Amino acid sequence: MGISDIFLQSSGSVILLGTLVVLLLVYLVSSCSFGSQEHRKEPPGPRPLPLLGNLLQLDLERPYNTLLKLSKKYGSVFTVYFGTQKVVVLAGYKTVKEALHNQGHGVLWSNGDSWKEMRRFALTNLRDFGMGKKACEDKIIEECDYLTEVFKKFKGEAFDTSQPMNYAVSNIICSIVYGSRFEYNDPKFTSMVDQTNRRIQLVGSPSIQMYNLYPWISKWVGDRREIQKISAFIRKENFALFSHLKETLNPQMCRGFVDAFLVRKQNLEESGITNSHFHSENLLVSVQNLFTAGTDTTATTLRWGLLLMAKYPEIQDQVQEELSQVLGSRQVQVEDRKNLPFTDAVIHETQRLANIVPMAVPHRTSQDVTFQGYVIKKGTTVYPLLTSVLYDESEWERPHTFYPAHFLDKDGRFVKRDAFMPFSAGRRVCLGEGLARMELFIFFTTLLQRFRFTPPPGVSEDELDLTPRVGFTLNPSPHKLCAVSCM
């Protein structure tokens, strides 16, 4: 062994020793900090490791499951570390309700002027363009006819419902945002929808979660490169659509949300205001958010609904019997909901059990707050754990079972449940809740009127898998169903 080899070996040992010393010091500091939580009355939680935090304890594919288990040990308000990031988790119906409803006045959930301005503008204009109104109901009913024709083309053979369902639901938000729907064979439209859904799946992957915590690993994260490529494509397509809409803009007759945004931007610029929140980037982000939220969650819930009908044919029988008695063969209307309590209960129970968004959008404290006796420091990230509300054992008789009776009284009448929070609550409640509820009701009832859903040949009901696919939202695992026409 030469002198250079000895030098390299010894220097390597020094580096390793130095690294260990640094990690030990970080651990001791974090231990002292952790030990002082009780003195400051900060929420309890598992002891974090240096740099890694509690990552070794988390299931990165389904972190909500780990957090649910931790809440059993540490209570409804507890602390975990995602790497070096400190997060306070809120679990259980009572705790989440108290936080979202009672702590939302500029303290716990402040989001900045841009967010407030864009949300206010979006809510106002989405309503103006039909969200929750009869005009929107008519669009959904029209889209049901297009979707029904696609299902009929399979002539009862097994097929994947993902794409046609995504295209149908996406067309509703497209008609509100862009002012028009698209054909299911329009390559630009289908690419936009497919790529958006692919990005949603990738964002929830373990590798992206690790990248978010440790950005320096970016060159080893293939999912990140794919997300960047998808984002660039969606950006390009949206700006092309914006350009076309701008060229044909009539300020006196806005066709949709984009037109309204462009008119507001134009008016502000003509008034000499150039530093407003109404600029191209905010338009792009707003449209992408509406496009994503307006497609994935509703389409995913509908796919869960059809899968559950195929898995539980006796419940499908009850839905179809009720639809037959109340509607006959006529088209369902939103006003029919009050006369279809069992069908309404099935839709609500699908939303509850499917648990599409297990963790609500994270928030950040804008100042020190005291919550349930604990101090949550300014700048702390807070996660309301919605899955803990939808599966709260103190609120639901059979939390892990598909049980529509959760939403029915002893006389079979529909009852609201306070712990039903699939859209979150408070100031950050999903702004498309009204639209989503209308879509879920009309699409589901129309499809159940017209088709009988069964497993593929050779597959039993018991073999239909209800394990969700890994992603930012919880989609069903890949599967096929048969849609047998019954009208």
Q: Is 260 within 8 Å of 290 (Cβ atoms)?
A: no
Asked if 447 contacts 310 with a C-beta cutoff of 8 angstroms, the reply is no
User: How far apart (Å, rounded) are the C-alpha atoms in residues 184 and 182?
Assistant: 6
Q: Which comes out higher in pLDDT, residue 211 or 252?
A: 252
Nearest in space to 64 (alpha carbons), one of 350, 386, 307, 362: 386
**Taking 90 as the threshold, does the pLDDT of residue 153 lie above it?**
yes
Is 472 strand, coil or helix? Answer: coil
pLDDT tens digits, one per residue of 411-468: 999 999 999 988 765 555 566 677 889 999 999 999 999 999 999 999 999 999 999 9
> Which pLDDT tens digit goes with each residue over 278-327?
888 888 888 887 877 778 889 999 999 999 999 999 999 999 999 999 99
Report yes or no: 323 and 448 within 8 Å, Cβ to Cβ. Answer: yes
- When pLDDT is cut at 50, 70 and 90, the band that residue 470 belongs to is confident
Q: Amino acid letter at 292?
A: T
DSSP one-letter string for 336-361: GGGG-HHHHHHHHHHHHHH-SSSSPP
pLDDT 10s digits, 216-230: 887 888 888 999 999
**Residues contacting 214, CB < 8 A, separation 6+:** 83
Residues contacting 22, CB < 8 A, separation 6+: none
Mean pLDDT, range 121-129, rounded to an integer = 70
**Residue 336: CA atoms inside 13 Å, Cβ hemisphere, count?**
20
Distances 176 to 62, 254, 287 between C-alpha atoms, Å: 34, 11, 11
Predicted local confidence at residue 133, as pLDDT? 65
Torsion of CA 50, 52, 55, 61, to 10 degrees: 180
Judge whether residue 257 has pLDDT over 80. Answer: yes
CB 178, CB 286: distance < 8 Å? no
Residue pointed to by tokens 């006196």: 252
Q: How confident is the model at residue 107 (pLDDT cuts 50, 70, 90)?
A: very low
Asked whether the predicted pLDDT for residue 38 surpasses 60, the reply is no
- Over range 45-54, report the average pLDDT: 93
Helix axes 296-311, 187-203, angle to 10 degrees: 80
Q: What's the pLDDT at 375? A: 93
Question: Is the pLDDT score of 187 beyond 90?
Answer: yes
- 42 pLDDT more than 60: yes
When pLDDT is averaged across residues 19-46 and rounded to a whole number, the result is 58
Count Cβ atoms below 10 Å from residue 416 Cβ, excluding itself: 7
pLDDT at 128: 66
Reference 343, options 417, 408, 298, 399; nearest CA is 408
The pLDDT > 90 percentage for the chain reads 54
Output 135 or 164, whichever has higher pLDDT. 164
Cross-strand partners of 408: 414
Q: How far is Cα 360 from Cα 109, in angstroms, rounded to an integer?
A: 12
Distance between CA atoms of residues 128 and 121, nearest Å: 11
Which CA distances in Å does 451 have to 142, 171, 172, 349, 447?
Answer: 17, 22, 22, 20, 6
Structure tokens at 293: 């939220």
26: Cβ–Cβ under 8 A, 6 or more apart, which residues?
50, 51
Q: In the predicted model, what is the mean pLDDT of residues 90-103?
A: 85
Q: What is the pLDDT of residue 169?
A: 95
CB burial of residue 188 (10 Å; 0-12, 13-18, 19+): exposed
| pLDDT digits 0-9 by tens, 348-403 | 999 999 999 888 778 888 888 899 999 999 889 899 999 999 999 999 999 999 99
Mean pLDDT comparison of 24-28, 122-126, 134-138, 160-164, highest-scoring range: 160-164
List the Cα angle 420/422/427 in 5-degree steps. Answer: 100
Q: What is the pLDDT of residue 109?
A: 40
Residue of 423, 431, 439, 433 whose CA lies nearest to 123: 431
Task: Tell me what pLDDT residue 286 has.
Answer: 84
Mean pLDDT, residues 102-112? 45
Predicted confidence (pLDDT) at residue 113 exceeds the cutoff of 80: no
Residue 482 pairs with which residues in a beta bridge?
454
Indicate the helix (H) or strand (E) that contains 365: none
Q: Give the 3-state secondary structure of residue 320.
A: helix
Q: Which of 36, 34, 38 is nearest to 46 (CA)?
A: 34
Work out the end-to-end distance of the chain between its first and last CA atoms, rounded to an integer number of angstroms: 86
**What is the rounded average pLDDT of the residues 177-187?**
93
Q: With H, G, I as helix, E, B as strand and everything else as coil, classify residue 207.
A: helix
Tens digit of each residue's pLDDT (9 = 90 or more) over 1-18 = 444 443 334 444 444 455
d(CA 45, CA 71): 9
pLDDT at position 105:
35
Residues 52-65, mean pLDDT to the nearest whole number: 91
* Amino acid residing at 15: I
pLDDT at 25: 52
In total, the chain counts a number of residues equal to 487
DSSP labels, 78-131 = EEEEETTEEEEEE-SHHHHHHHHHHSTTTTSS--HHHHHHHHHHHHHHHHHTTT
Q: Whole-angstrom Cα distance, residue 48 to residue 52?
A: 7
Question: How many C-beta neighbours within 10 Å does residue 150 have?
Answer: 17
**CA dihedral over 336, 337, 339, 344, signed as positive or negative:** positive
The 10 Å Cβ neighbour count of residue 22 is 12
Alpha carbon of residue 297 to chain centroid: 6
